[in-house]
Amino acid sequence: MRRRKQRRKQKIIMVSVSGAFLLLAALYLFMGYYFSSHFFFGTKINGWKVGGMDLSSAEQKVGDGVEDYLLTVFDREGEKHHVYGADIGCSYVPDGSVEKLLKQQEPFQWPARLFHPQKADVPITMEYEEELISKAVSALDCFRKENITEPENARIELGEDGYYIEPEIPGNHMIYENVLAKVQQAVSAGDTSVQLTDEDYIKPEYTRESKEIIQVMDRITAYENAEINYQIKDYEEKLDKKQIREFLQVEGFSVALIEEKIEAYVQGLASKYNTYADVRSFQTSSGDTIEIGGGDYGWIVDKPKEFEQIKADLEAGKPVNREPLYSQRPFVEGKDDIGNTYVEIDYTKQHLWYYENGELVVESDIVTGNISRNNGSPDGVFKIVYKDSPAVLKGEDYESDVTYFMPFAYNVGIHDASWRNGKFGGEIYKSSGSHGCINAPLEVAQKIYETIKVGTPVIAFYREPVELSAENAKISNAFSYVDPEKKASEGQPPAE
């Protein structure tokens, strides 16, 4: 009896265990089949809980986030601009990513996934309305007129310290087409941000590194480097960078010389350094100081040649040390261009002196132009033009043979006059003077002729008003013989 009960009990246990096993097997198989079309419990896709959901429900859940989609556009300065999904008609477009995850599940491994739930991220593919996304991009703050700074090219400017490159201004004007394309691409890919680069902005056409800008600056620098140190005795004169800049016309990418300003500079040189026909203070052998002007002696800057030379120097781009170009030079350089070698002729005293290196070589009474016939000799500051021995002096009604002739004012010169029979000086010139030349004793003319050099200054002057012939007055163009009262009325100081 007891055995029978024991067998029955064992049988019941076996049936129970078998039933439980069959039940578990059925549950395992059922759930395995279920997870072949549903996600494991606890599964998250893109942060959304999709456990137990079939493909359709899971895709809908993943797509729910599109309604709150926000794309942040970062400009190159790091500023943020936003495009909202609601403004562009965003909707989720399944691309098979969720389905792929589902198919990758091993459905009969579901017991293990109860303790290790799956987490995955999939790309979100969206579609949008073209018209709406275009409007949304156009409406961004960065495209508002008041927020746009246009780019500006680098340029050459002239400042207090010279020419310099004013750098370009990048501005912030974005290229609409580029921004739109990047936004469209980001939205389609479901990206939440997009970064703009320099390529998405309108750029200045020319920057400080553009070869056109650099070439202009190099050209300007070359001009500025061509400083001219003028070698003028007793003076300092320099065409420096500051002055050169005033000669330059810089427009765009061209640099040109303003010829009018160079001409004005050359005129200034001539006005400053020309001594031709200048009124000079001269200390006479009699001990007084007179003012004597006119004549043809002195420095003359050759303005046309100097103008061309300055342009050539500037184009060469190198500093130079040189003299101004002269069309006429005096016998002596420096402020005192008469020096201490010269002939002095006092027409009023009818006397001549010849000095060489400050030493008196010869002096003598003379006879000059006949002032009663308006043939007074020309006064002014002249130079010995040439020497001739012997010579024949010819006029309209005369012809004279002389041994020594030294002209200083066209056909007027110093020569011997044997016909004077040794009578010189006094007031002979007032009634029996020459046609304009300076008559001197033979030995005096010879001494001067043998020692004087061509170019030696000749200072000839009157101490009283004298009426010259039209010809001699033209030669003279002088100052010394003008009536003192007339000088005073014209604001000129009278001669002593």
Domains contained in the chain, CATH given:
35-143 (no CATH), 212-275+299-328 (3.10.20.800), 342-489 (2.40.440.10)
Q: Which residue has the tokens 């008469």?
A: 338
Question: Could you count the other beta carbons within 10 Å of the beta carbon of residue 248?
Answer: 19
Terminal alpha carbon distance of the chain: 179
Indicate the pTM of the whole model: 0.72
What pLDDT score was predicted for residue 15? 65
Name residue 17's amino acid: V
What pLDDT score was predicted for residue 297? 95
- 315/48 Cα distance (integer angstroms): 77
Over the range 44-82, which residues count as b (16 or more CB within 10 Å of their CB) and which as e?
ebbeeebbebebeebbebbbeebeebebebebeeeeebe
What pLDDT score was predicted for residue 56? 75
What pLDDT score was predicted for residue 473? 63
What pLDDT score was predicted for residue 486? 43
What pLDDT score was predicted for residue 219? 97
What pLDDT score was predicted for residue 23? 72
Burial of 85 (0-12, 13-18, 19+ CB in 10 A): buried
In terms of phi and psi (left: phi > 0; alpha: psi -120 to 50; beta: otherwise), the region of 318 is beta
- Look up residue 178 and give its DSSP letter: H
**Angle (nearest 5°) at CA 284 between 283 and 289:** 45
Taking each helix axis as running N to C, give the angle between helix 259-273 and helix 303-316, from 0 to 180 degrees, rounded to the nearest 10. 130
Within 5-51, strands assigned E span 44-45, 48-49
What is the block-wise mean pLDDT of the chain (496 residues), using blocks of 10 residues? 68 69 71 75 78 75 75 94 89 79 78 77 79 93 94 94 95 96 90 94 96 96 97 94 96 95 98 92 94 92 98 97 96 92 97 98 97 91 96 85 94 95 96 95 98 97 81 57 43 33
What pLDDT score was predicted for residue 97? 76
